Amino acid sequence: MSTKKNKLPTIYIGADHTGFHLKKQLIDWLTKQDYLVHDLGNHVEDLADDYPQYGFAVAEAVVQNKKAVGIIICGTGVGICIAANKIKGARAALVYDPKIADLAVRHDNANILTLAARQTSFKKMQSIINIFLNSKFEKGRHSRRVNQIIDYETKSGI
């Protein structure tokens, strides 16, 4: 394993049938950039699959590996984002724009990027992902806000 690869975050990726082909393209693209990418499904294009299982799988993996990030894809991005955010510690952000990718990390410490297969081109996904992976959490007043979410998860048993 290269030194560069050791410094890059591990990426867990998942998609339902709507995002299946884009996910495969993204895996190839990210792997060529030396990212370690784990494909958590769907592994075959199945028009009858359901997005929650892939949102749950990626979110659980990211929460267990604090140095990892996730990328999840479904038709609109909404459903899989909702599913991922049911996992304690997951902070999935639905992103359609590169600027929002940056703010999702800098202000909200997002650890999972959610993409919409029906709304976002592969080229735009590449731009969004590059920004997401290279943005850093600013802490300060943003830490206070993120900690309120963490405290609520802990107190409520979510």
Q: Would you write out the chain's pLDDT as a tens digit for each of its 158 residues?
A: 333 555 899 999 999 999 999 999 999 999 999 999 999 999 999 999 999 999 999 999 999 999 999 999 999 999 999 999 999 999 999 999 999 999 999 999 999 999 999 999 999 999 999 999 999 999 887 888 887 888 888 888 76
CATH number of the structural domain spanning residue 87 = 3.40.1400.10
Measure CA 44 to chain center. 20
pLDDT attached to residue 2? 39
Q: Give the range of the structural domain holding residue 7, as residue numbers without chain letter.
A: 3-156
| Predicted model pTM | 0.92
The three-state DSSP-derived secondary structure of 24-47 is HHHHHHHHHCCCCEEECCCCCCCC
Query: Catalytic site residues?
Result: 74, 107
pLDDT attached to residue 143? 80
pLDDT attached to residue 141? 78
Look at the chain and report how many structural domains it folds into. Answer: 1
